[in-house]
Structure 1
Amino acid sequence: MTRRSRGREVALQVLYQVEQNSGLPAVEIRQFINRRLLGEARLVEFTQALIGGVREHQPRIDAMIEEVAENWRLDRMAAIDRNILRLGAYEVLYGPDEVPAKVAINEALELAKRYSTAQSSRFVNGILDRVLQLHEESKAKADAPAEPEVGGQTAPKAAGDATPQAPPAETAPEVVAEAEPAS
């Protein structure tokens, strides 16, 4: 198991513990993390960043999971699966750029295989794939350049666009519409 995988595993354990016991003191959480990761500073920092990130973005993450989880409410999912999904979705949506989304999903699958049921890894994979797809679609829409206006008209679209463009008003032939007979 890689060091970061171990950090994700401890982050999952903490997220699960906190969900089951919201009154858990922060000092106990820090001690747990330090004990489990043998006080390795960079790994402890990585793990705490994962936990903090999931907790900071949890309302948005939960909403997105519910949006893509057809016929499943978040509160009806197994607690361990719910937290694996939160951790995986956090890394896909907000995680550091050096971790590709497919790696984050694979790490979540490994956690599901280790800590949940035989069917959980397929469930987690399906949900996180949809989260990634939704995220990429919304990113593509946000990154798409707006069509600038040129002289009061929309500028022509990029080459290869199947939408025909009307010629500028100065060169367009005059079209006279014939009136339809009244019935």
Structure 2
Amino acid sequence: MAGAVIEDEDLLIAVLNSAPVVDGHPTDALRAAGGEDRLRGLGGDGSAEERERVCQVRDALQQLIRGGTRDVGPLDTVLRQARLHPAVSPAGVTWQLETPADEKLAVRVVLAWSRVATGLPGRLRPCANAECNLFLVDRSRPATARWCSMAACGNRMKARTHARKRRSEQ
């Protein structure tokens, strides 16, 4: 099960972080040129319908994780036709996802969010940099990670705090 959470984590973070702020401007890598290839790289088919479903799920999850809403309606909608069916083999039981093709990736993202949220409670969060639109899964032992990247946002935020302290001392 731990391997499943890590695989789910990778898919979830890739989708959540597909709308970064670049040079102060919001972008959307799924709706931009090459978005179809990005979806295919995540296991999708790259269709326009799939892209819209995944973007709807991404946007709903971003708001939910940020605490801006408790509305799970868009997530419920994408799961309505999804079914998990057991398949038994000598290796054990696996679950096969059955859903319309253009909703499969979006359903996988919702299932990944659920597994990460329950498997790592409180560890999925937005970057603490208000100017950033990225998310992280905090795997640190003390659960104190705050930034999507220490090299980018962490360094920037620490430099701002340092500069603010120096100005107040003068």
Structure 2 length as normaliser, TM-score?
0.30
Task: Identify, as 1 or 2, the structure richer in helix.
Answer: 1
Task: Identify, as 1 or 2, the structure richer in strand.
Answer: 2
Structure with the larger RCO, 1 or 2 (CA within 8 Å, 6+ apart): 2
Computing the radius of gyration from Cα coordinates, the structure with the larger value is 1
